[in-house]
Structure 1
């Protein structure tokens, strides 16, 4: 009977632990990124009353006689399955869909969390606003060509978003064309004066128009805007002439590097000849001295600006030979259009966004978009082996394995969803069911104790 008392006490203690875990789960039902836990029991050591015996010639074997001495907690398991994602529309709220943890730092100490509730502090650091721990990743650095680059092979560092930082002006290095020249128009004879040619190109009646003008605003290295114009007119069957002009430019010229590698610059030349196949595909470009008829058909515009003796260059990207990705010649309306150039004036970073790989991109007032950095994720061989440290954080333990740091989508790491938070994975229906089972288990153990007590009372009553 004394064994019953102690077995019942162990049952009460174990069910109390289970109830503690259930209560903790329920209290964190609305805690972002919380991972629920469960308690597993196992029997305690058993007292051997008699051992087993093997079969003999005249009798069979006898099993051992053992009396259990109660139960004990076997484990408290973390349930690391995915929680539902809740939309917040806040760009610094991040949720992981799949495996992995965000990495936070408090000085040299590293913490890991599924809670992606982040914000930007006054110095631009991405932090957990509850405790100030800084989100880890890789900040972008500029390479020798001025383009931002993220080195994910380096050690992680505190991520910074430099809101309202200046972005210096960038001079235009290329202009890309996506256009069509109407093959149905009549050619303009070579002897027509420049003034008459411009009238024919700009005729108010579209039916009489024999060419088109396209213009694109380009920028110098100080961000000053200049208008680059290209006059195009039909000069012969499947041939068009393009004349380049630029506001404020001096010593303007245009030349082509031929397919043979030759580059004979003709000072003051501002015209190009575009050749087309009968089916309307661009096949060649020539500056009168050199011709290019394969691969990318580009031309270089060279010029100087007042007050700056340096020669500036802009590449005209007209298309690929034999393709329809650039300038074409079909019997359709003129759509001569320069669709892209890479220059801009000085601007300030006004906003930023984070994509599903954790890449942070700054959006500037001048229309520029630059990579600022990338969010790091961590995973472990045994995530259930992590130790909870409070504030929705985990730390490594000797059984979790070392952190495997990487980017979203690599080495089994999940995707990052900006504007979402991961909700707790606590299932209230399961918790309330477990609560009933735990209550009944606790109640049954208390009954075994009271029953054993009554039996002891009966034993003591034998003396009377």
Structure 2
């Protein structure tokens, strides 16, 4: 059987995966805090045809996916005017956990938070937003008439008489290798061994600041994605043509008997 046919199959499978990655990026073009993914390929093993020449005589056996990486470049900021909408300007992630399973901490760049009936600052899924000590951020509604969040991430409660009291500081995690984080779903990431240490502290410790009333949007560039889609489509077509041509050659070999 012709090696070119199997090479074409591997190429088509690779470009199918590339289209999957591109499709997911485009689907999340308006997702708050979403980070796009890119795919890289590498060649498969090469078959040695002969070792008698000066240089090796080898024929490649196709390609395969080598890595799918998440690109953590910042997205554009959108002003909302909502005091509980937060955006990290710089490196780092907000830390949250599920109240039903507080032992597992997740990271996110999606800062569309709300205050629930108990006064807890939570995500849209109900996950608690954590402070620098890993505790849920709570604003007692019976004690404070309102609250604000400054650039350092300090939650400042305002009493009915006008006095302001610093309550807690929003925790910002700065993993050693953000590309090693694993996507969990719901715009959340979970730590892995490849990501290194979480390094949770203040926004200033992560050389960042927190902007209230703003959200970080997706970093997907539609122009880039559609360009890559064209490349993937043409690559898929070219590999399918390789298979068609190989099939025609095999048909000619079969016809030699006639």
Normalising TM by the smaller chain, what interval? over 0.9
The alignment status of 1:120 with 2:115, answered yes or no, reads yes
Give me the whole-angstrom Cα distance separating, in 1, the residues matched to 2:180 and 2:52: 39
1:148-159 paired onto structure 2 within 5 Å: 155-159=133-137
Equivalence for 1:20? 20
Equivalent pair of 1:379/1:413 in contact (CA under 8 Å): no
Q: 2:73 aligns with which of 70, 81, 92?
A: 81
Q: 2:238 aligns with which of 436, 439, 444?
A: 444
The alignment status of 1:162 with 2:140, answered yes or no, reads yes
Q: 2:184 aligns with which of 356, 371, 389?
A: 389
Q: CA deviation at 1:20?
A: 0.1
| TM-score normalised over the length of structure 2 | 0.97
Q: CA deviation at 1:51?
A: 2.2
| Structure (1/2) with the larger strand percentage | 1
The alignment status of 1:434 with 2:228, answered yes or no, reads yes
| Structure (1/2) with the larger helix percentage | 2
Unaligned runs of at least 5 residues, structure 1: 54-61, 139-154, 166-348
Q: CA deviation at 1:52?
A: 6.0
Q: CA deviation at 1:67?
A: 0.4
Equivalences, count? 255
Deviations 1:37-67 (A, max 9, x none): 01111101100111265xxxxxxxx100000
The secondary structure found in structure 2 opposite 1:425 is coil
The alignment status of 1:5 with 2:9, answered yes or no, reads no
Q: CA deviation at 1:367?
A: 1.3
Deviations 1:27-46 (A, max 9, x none): 00000000000111110110
Equivalent pair of 1:377/1:413 in contact (CA under 8 Å): no
**Which has the bigger relative contact order, CA under 8 A and spacing at least 6?**
2
The secondary structure found in structure 1 opposite 2:9 is helix
The alignment status of 1:90 with 2:90, answered yes or no, reads no
Give me the whole-angstrom Cα distance separating, in 1, the residues matched to 2:249 and 2:188: 50
CA RMSD of aligned residues (A): 1.0
Give me the whole-angstrom Cα distance separating, in 2, the residues matched to 1:2 and 1:403: 50
Unaligned runs of at least 5 residues, structure 2: none
The alignment status of 1:402 with 2:194, answered yes or no, reads no
1:306-385 paired onto structure 2 within 5 Å: 349-385=144-180
Give me the whole-angstrom Cα distance separating, in 2, the residues matched to 1:399 and 1:52: 44
Equivalent pair of 2:118/2:141 in contact (CA under 8 Å): no
The secondary structure found in structure 1 opposite 2:22 is helix
Deviations 1:230-267 (A, max 9, x none): xxxxxxxxxxxxxxxxxxxxxxxxxxxxxxxxxxxxxx
Q: 1:137 aligns with which of 131, 135, 143?
A: 131
Equivalent pair of 2:75/2:219 in contact (CA under 8 Å): yes
1:31-430 paired onto structure 2 within 5 Å: 31-51=31-51, 62-106=54-98, 107-129=102-124, 131-138=125-132, 155-165=133-143, 349-410=144-205, 412-430=206-224
| TM-score normalised over the length of structure 1 | 0.54
Deviations 1:284-309 (A, max 9, x none): xxxxxxxxxxxxxxxxxxxxxxxxxx
